[in-house]
């Protein structure tokens, strides 16, 4: 089932903290996982986090099928270490249509989480998975790219307006 994607600043769920997911996965969590996979594919997104579909849980989906990687969900994901080298890349977000800008993040990160079976998953990456995982993990902590962008390529006026109206939180 395709789920509606929550947009900032209309939906405060994007700023809320999230609860850890417990195992074995409940029927509800299995359905949410399936629905998020359908939704990220349909939206042609490279990643999606549960708050973006209105759920305050630590679940993200990474969809780099176009880069030849299998789509996968990750539960309770967190960055456990960061490389010193940072790089700036343009990012957008399905919850922030029309907003794009340069975001500086560590190039290489080590990420820990759990797979659908609840098994611990640990990986280190310095490419697209690193970038997308960092963006999606930020969502599970209520952090959005508008908190990180220093230089906008699109949508700066909108963000200025939100700041003026104090809608950034």
Q: Where do contacts with Zn ion occur on this chain (CB under 5 A)?
A: 93
Question: 3-state class of 165 per DSSP?
Answer: coil
107 dihedral zone (left: phi>0; alpha: psi -120 to 50; beta): alpha
Which one is catalytic: 65, 88, 91, 136?
136
Contacts of 125 (CB under 8 A, 6+ apart): 108, 109, 111, 133
Instruction: Examine the residue annotation and report whether 161 is marked as an active-site residue of this protein.
Output: no
Please identify, using beta-carbon distances, which residue of 21 and 93 lies nearer to Zn ion.
93
Q: Which residue is nearest to Zn ion (CB)?
A: 93
Q: Nearest approach, Cβ of 84 to Zn ion (angstroms)?
A: 25
Please identify, using beta-carbon distances, which residue of 33 and 140 lies nearer to Zn ion.
140
Q: Nearest approach, Cβ of 118 to Zn ion (angstroms)?
A: 25
Rounded CA separation 69/110 (Å): 18
Answer yes or no: are the C-beta atoms of 148 and 65 closer than 8 Å: no
Q: Nearest approach, Cβ of 93 to Zn ion (angstroms)?
A: 3
- Residue 136 is classified by DSSP as H
C-alpha gyration radius of the chain: 15
Please identify, using beta-carbon distances, which residue of 93 and 159 lies nearer to Zn ion.
93
Q: Nearest approach, Cβ of 144 to Zn ion (angstroms)?
A: 7
Please identify, using beta-carbon distances, which residue of 93 and 146 lies nearer to Zn ion.
93
Rounded CA separation 114/143 (Å): 21
Rounded CA separation 112/127 (Å): 16
Q: Give the catalytic positions in this structure.
A: 136
């Amino acid at each position: 089932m395709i789920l509606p994607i929550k947009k900032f600043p209309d939906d405060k769920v994007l700023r809320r903290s999230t609860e850890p997911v417990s195992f074995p996965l409940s029927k509800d969590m299995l359905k949410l996982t399936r629905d998020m996979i359908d939704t990220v594919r349909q939206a042609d997104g490279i990643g999606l986090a549960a708050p973006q579909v209105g759920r305050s849980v630590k679940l993200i989906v990474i969809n780099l099928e176009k880069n030849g990687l299998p789509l996968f969900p990750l539960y309770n994901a967190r960055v456990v270490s960061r490389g010193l080298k940072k790089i700036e890349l343009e990012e957008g977000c399905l919850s922030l249509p029309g907003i794009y800008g340069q975001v500086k993040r560590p190039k290489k990160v080590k990420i820990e989480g759990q797979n659908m079976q609840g098994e611990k998953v640990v990986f280190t990456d310095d490419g697209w998975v690193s970038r997308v995982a960092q963006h999606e993990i930020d969502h599970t902590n209520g952090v959005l790219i508008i908190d990180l962008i220093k230089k906008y390529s699109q949508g700066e006026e909108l963000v200025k307006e939100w700041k003026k109206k104090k809608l950034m939180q």
